[in-house]
Structure 1
């Protein structure tokens, strides 16, 4: 592998066409895979490191084929190699399952990558319970807590195909390490919203009574469905697609959540330390606000099943979100002393 030449492309190709309305749903990992196949030949800085995920089987990287390396099922080695390549001026894009990025490989992520603030892109597939059929060993319900705790780390969770493309492109140009949480299963596109910008939450729906802040494909769709349920009761909900967990968009949160207001966070993650915790930690330091967290309970998932079934079984769905919002709004606030 040769070092990138001085004439290496420094700007990325134009964005791929967005899917037309009614297009077949795609998973975020598929969108990322196809985008990387487009970008790798055009940018000599990019190197794709794989851990035998199978995601790139049959993919033709063309002129970039020499910069695709499969290191096998060796996640710790994967991260160490990526750090070394980043030191030479490359932009390594590493591929593994989220459960392994946040556990088996985390020492190398912490010491080799985050400590040195290196531009490694960790593309983590099978996030949450999207590998529900494989059981708790392959569930990733702790990764947001682990990765957002690391200094220098940016943490991104796209919720549909269009936001995946936009956020991956922007992540590739970040100066330090980035963790991108990708889903395994196809999910519908979100309704049109403001431009997708890393670090800026998208307001998908405006309301005045309660804020539903969601992170990830199923949670965002569930929040939108919950807003419809609340609307039938005369409750007006704002819905936020918070795709960047770190750095959290505090400015938008403060703009949509009034003092003394209520926020319901929704995520495909254990309650401890994840997106909901990030919102609660941030807002309660700044304004008096009530934060309700809808997330996976503090237990290993005891059954196998598909992603949607496991989420609904755990109460991460529209009915629970709406119920938590109604209960919070109905509960009297304790008077200030």
Structure 2
């Protein structure tokens, strides 16, 4: 493990969102996949000219004969992965989320999901994790993919989630999509009595006033905001939902309805993501609970420095606290 020593990078394509001094782990996906590769000969890796930028290079260097560079051809990437799965291999195919979802949707849907193949799509730069504007910001990837039957969608919080998710994705019988956090990834959940379980949510913190239901990097923001809100006398519970589809409906239903303000937090547009998943869960089960969604707006986002953009669009801890306190009146 390493420790971040500088504030978030401001202008690079791959910018860090780790706070100054925050504990991080380098390339957790790449190392977890390489470890899985040592245990299972059927595991193969593919990338669309982005191995270095999706941490797939760790697996590539460990198993060069089991890695396939497909070039800048995302449709071919997923088609090849489908073919490998058909003959009994377990492929992990990495590219940027925008390319996997926007450019190669039909191949993911019909070549992979329709036959129920065990292909694991790894999407880098999910949500607002790059400052390069709409061409690379996958703010709507979950909304695009939630409608695909049988596809499991995972939005990990940190390195712990990623490391523990990789072998479980390989074991899952159908296709999966992981929203990748890469590079020096914060390590947060090791401080909690937590284990990643595919399809399950976990209560990380109890509280009587507010219930935060969060996914992805917003869980670490929720935990920080909860700790700071406690100094203002606000008791906040945090329910981490790393699996967006299928959502752990039982955990959600058990958590709401206790007189607490319910807030969802996601690094995704408020359209079609965690907030709407939670809302439909409650509505379909006859639970009339108001939800306050904290997420990205339904618009194309600006380019710029990540810290500035996170604050501008409401994902920063100060903005989260401000919103919660305003809702509590």
Q: State the match for 2:103 in structure 1.
A: 104
Alignment of 1:258-277 (within 5 A): 258=257, 261-277=260-276
How far is the alpha carbon of 1:285 from its aligned partner? 2.5
CA spacing shift, 1:251–1:32, aligned 2, 3 Å = same
| Aligned pair partner of 1:53 in 46, 50, 58 | 50
Residue aligning to 1:36: 33
Higher mean C-alpha displacement, 282-291 vs 109-118? 282-291
Shift of 1:82: 1.0
Which of 130, 134, 137 is equivalent to 2:135? 137
CA deviations over 1:263-317 (Å, ceiling 9, x no partner): 10111111111111111111232212111101111221123223x3311111112
Number of aligned residue pairs: 306
Q: What TM-score does the superposition give when structure 1 sets the normalisation length?
A: 0.84
Deviations 1:237-280 (A, max 9, x none): 11122111011111111222125543101111111111111111
State the partner residue of 2:74: 75
- The residue aligned with 1:303 is 303
- Separation in 1, partners of 2:23, 2:80: 37
User: Counterparts of 2:177 and 2:251 in 1: how far apart (Å)?
Assistant: 22
Q: Distance in 2 between matches of 1:91 and 1:76?
A: 18
Q: State the TM-score, normalized to the length of structure 2.
A: 0.86
| Cα RMSD after superposing both structures | 2.2
Correspondence list, 1:316-335, <5 A: 316-330=315-329
| TM superposition shift of 1:195 | 2.0
Q: Which structure carries more relative contact order (alpha carbon 8 Å, separation 6+)?
A: 2
Q: Are positions 1:283 and 2:251 aligned together? A: no
1:200 aligns with 2:200: yes
Structure 1 gaps of 5+ residues are 1-17, 331-337
Deviation at 1:19, TM superposition (A): 8.6
2:293 maps to 293
CA shift at 1:149, angstroms? 1.6
Shift of 1:58: 6.8
Aligned pairs (5 A) from 1:16-35: 24-26=23-25, 30-35=27-32
CA deviation after TM superposition for structure 1 residue 59, in Å: 5.5
Equivalent residue of 1:38, what SS? helix
Deviations 1:126-174 (A, max 9, x none): 2112221x22101110111111221100000111111111111111100
Equivalent position SS for 2:81 = helix
Query: Where does structure 2 lack aligned partners over 5 or more consecutive residues?
Result: 4-20
